[in-house]
Amino acid sequence: MHSTLAPFATDFFLRALLGGSLVAVICGVVGTWVVIRGMAFLGEAMGHGMLPGVALATVLGAPVLLGAAVSAAIMSAAIGVLKRRGRLSYDTSIGLLFVAMLSLGVIIVSHSRSFATDATAILFGDILAISAADIALLAGAGAVTVALAALFHRAFVAAAFDPRIARTLGLRPEWAHVALVGLVTIAVVASFQAVGTLLVVGLLLAPAVAARAWTAHIPLIMLGAAGAGVLAVAGGLLASWHWGTAAGASISAAAIALAALSSGARALTARSARSARSTQPNPAA
């Protein structure tokens, strides 16, 4: 077998590729709305907001994914409460919760003697350790994500462009926002093992940015983002295998490289189209 294809003969690489591809689909669907709504800071905050739950689960020997889910759910609920009842702006509320959760997580993990090893997996992920049970959970999370995105599609669209129209149509933009925060939570938790808390936003944003450069049709952006994410996962895993780099960081770097290449290619295409139109003879002349 050619050395380039050698990784595909190993079970752990195939599990990582399948699990990472499921994560890419989840992030492609959710990341489309994150980019359209300008919610990148929320995604970053949710990624770091998982740290206390992950750290506590690590110290207690409980399932890390469960700790991440509980911590992210608590943070999303706290964001919702502050948004409805607090006097602070939305970004300020997220920023305060972000720092509070991050500080709490560092305090918890500082009591663990295995802090250095655990912190590496927490911050940068361990996609090569994905198991068959993890893949089943990711498949379930993907099904829930697609179902919720389809169910709230009209509400998301209306709330994104004019919340007043959404209220007039009876779509309740407040509930749409809660659902969207829930989707971001699912995506961040699902991406945690693949790329860790520090790099999760790269996989959430970059594929959607790459796809949005070519179309404004939301379902097509989602499909393109999912495809770009799968390509980034495959490319990052192959780079990690052949060059000995960290898998999670390689995946995030590949996703960002795809976004840059896509934007550059789109700009060149648009420039070529303008040049072609300018050189065409004027029929009225």
- pLDDT per residue as tens digits for the range 73-99: 888 888 777 767 666 677 788 888 888
> Does residue 220 register a pLDDT over 60?
yes
Rounded CA-CA distance 126/118 in Å is 10
Rounded CA-CA distance 217/137 in Å is 30
Q: Which residue would you say has higher pLDDT here, 151 or 277?
A: 151
Of 264, 19, 28, nearest in space to 145 by CA: 28
Q: Which residues of 105-119 are buried (b: 16+ CB within 10 A; e: fewer)?
A: beebbeebeebeebb
> Does residue 120 register a pLDDT over 80?
no
Of 75, 38, 31, nearest in space to 208 by CA: 31
> Given this model, what pLDDT does residue 199 score?
78
- pLDDT bracket for residue 166 (50, 70, 90): low
> Does residue 119 register a pLDDT over 70?
no
Rounded CA-CA distance 46/80 in Å is 13
Of 15, 40, 82, nearest in space to 188 by CA: 40
Of 203, 194, 285, nearest in space to 248 by CA: 194
> Given this model, what pLDDT does residue 256 score?
95
> Given this model, what pLDDT does residue 105 score?
82
Q: Do 135 and 15 touch, CB atoms closer than 8 A?
A: yes
Amino acid 249 reads A
- Supply 142's token pair: 């993907």
Q: What is the mean pLDDT of residues 156-174?
A: 73
The dihedral formed by the CA atoms of 229, 177, 76 and 16, expressed in degrees to the nearest 10: -10
Got the DSSP string for 230-246? HHHHHHHHHHHHHH---
> Given this model, what pLDDT does residue 33 score?
94
- pLDDT bracket for residue 22 (50, 70, 90): very high
Average pLDDT, the chain: 84
> Given this model, what pLDDT does residue 232 score?
95
> Does residue 235 register a pLDDT over 90?
yes
Domains and CATH numbers, the chain: 3-274 (1.10.3470.10)
> Does residue 9 register a pLDDT over 90?
no
> Given this model, what pLDDT does residue 79 score?
78
Residue whose tokens read 């295995």 = 114
Q: What is the mean pLDDT of residues 135-140?
A: 91
